[in-house]
Amino acid sequence: MNASPPLYKQIYDYIIGQVKSGVLAPGDRVPSEKELAYNFQVSRITSKKALDLLSQEQVIERIQGKGSFIAHSRLEPVIRNTEPDIRKETYLIGLIIPDFGDSYGTGIVRAIEGACNNNRSHLIIKLSYGSSTLEEQAITDLMDLDVDGLIVFPISGRHYNQKILELVIKNYPLVLVDRHLKGIPASSVSTDNRLATLEAAKHLWSLGHERIGFISRPPEGTSAIEERIEGYQMAYSQQALQLDPRLFLTNISEHNLEGSMRSIQDFIVRHPDVTAFVVSEYVLAAVLKYALEDIEKSIPDDYSVICFDSPPTCAGKPLYTHIRQNENGIGKKAIELLLEQLRGNIVPQNTFIAFELVDGQSTKKIDAT
C-alpha cells in the first residue's frame, strides 16, 4: 500500500488542481495560510509550506498585505511539471541545549549537525545554561530567525517553559531530546530510563550486592530522573524484594559540593549495610567519589557504583561502570522525527533509543567473606 503524500503536498496538489480545472484563473486570490489550515485541519506551518512551494515554483504571487494570487507569468510550464522535487528541500533548524558536557550531550549535537548536513539543512545552536529564562529567550531568538523547526534539550525543573507549551499548541515542528514533558503531546526521543536503571540494579545484584542506594539530584518534575527512580523501584519489584525508601538520596547537586558530600557521608553512617550505589548522572558519581575519599573510603573496594554515562578513556576500562546512552542514535532520530513533521507527517510521541551497560572500574563482586 502506498503511503499518503505529506499534508503540505496535499494542499499543493489541491491548488494545482484548482488551476488545471479552471476554478482558479490568473489573478484570482488563493486561500490564506489560516484558511487552508482550517479547511485541511493542519497547522499553519504546514499550509505556509504549501504556499511557499507554490510561490517558489511561480504558481502564485504573494503581495504584502493583500495575500496570494494565481500568477500570470510562467504559469503554463509550471503546471505541466507539477511534481515538486522533495529532495531539494533545505531547512533551517534550531537546537537548544543546556551546555556541552564531557560525559553526555556533545555526541548528540555532533549527530544532529551531521544529519543536518546529510539532509541539506542548516543548524543554529543556542545554549540555555540550565536557565528557564535563557531557554525561553533562545526559543524567541530562533523563531525571530524564522527557523523551520526546533530540537530542544529541556532544562530540569517541575515547571514547563511556557514557550515550549505554546509551540506544541500551535503544532510547530518540535522534538524534545533526553526527556519529555508530562501531559504535553510533543514528540521526544530519549533512552528508556526505567529499563536502563533496572538493568543497572540487576547487574549489582549479580555481583552479590544486596543493599543498594540510589543517588540523584531532586527530580522536580524532570522526566529522566523520575523515570530512573521508577526503574530502581521496578528492579526491587522484579526481585520480589521489599524496597526501603530510606535508600533514596535525591538531594545531591554538583553546585552544592560541600552540602552534597555531607549528605552522602551522613547516609553512609545511617546505612552501614549499603555496599553499592546506582547514580543517576556521571557528575553526581564524581561527587560521591569525593565524599567517599574524604572519609577514607574508595570505589570499588568499599562501594561499587554504576552511573549514567562516563567520559571516554584512551585505553582500558572506563572509570565507571555505566549506562552508555546512544547519543549518535538519539541525535539522528531527533532530526528524522523533525523532518517528518516538516513534511506534514504524524510522528510518534515518545521514541526510545537502545542503550548499553558498559563494564568499568567502579564495580566488583562483593567479598563473601
Q: Exposed/middle/buried for 251, CB within 10 Å: 0-12, 13-18, 19+? A: middle
| 68 Cβ contact partners less than 8 Å away, ≥ 6 residues apart | 29, 30, 32, 51, 54, 55, 60, 61, 62
Percent of the chain with pLDDT over 70: 92
pLDDT in tens, 100-121: 877 788 899 999 999 999 888 9
Q: Residue 76: what pLDDT?
A: 52
pLDDT at 88 over 50: no
pLDDT tens digit string along 142-201?
Answer: 988 889 999 999 886 555 678 888 888 888 899 999 988 777 788 999 999 999 999 999
Report the pLDDT averaged over residues 218-237: 90
What's the whole-number mean pLDDT along residues 196-208? 96
Residue 73: its pLDDT value, please?
A: 56
Q: Give residue 132's identity as a one-letter amino acid code.
A: S
Q: What is the rounded average pLDDT of the residues 193-222?
A: 94
Q: Quickly state the pLDDT bin for 86 (edges 50, 70, 90).
A: very low
- For the chain, domains (ranges, CATH) are 7-84 (1.10.10.10), 92-190+327-354 (3.40.50.2300), 193-325 (3.40.50.2300)
Asked if residues 61 and 99 have their Cβ atoms less than 8 Å apart, the reply is no
For 349, residues 6+ apart whose C-beta sits below 8 A from its C-beta are: 180, 185, 186, 187, 188
* Pick from 302, 348, 309, 351: nearest CA to 327: 309
- Res 313: pLDDT: 76
Positive or negative torsion for Cα 131, 188, 119, 49: negative
Q: What is the pLDDT of residues 299-332, one digit of tens each?
A: 999 999 999 998 877 678 899 999 999 999 999 9
Per-residue confidence (pLDDT) for residue 189, from 0 to 100: 96
CA distances from 176 to 132, 318, 325 (A): 15, 29, 16
Q: Pick the more confident residue, 291 or 21.
A: 291
What's the pLDDT score for residue 184? 79
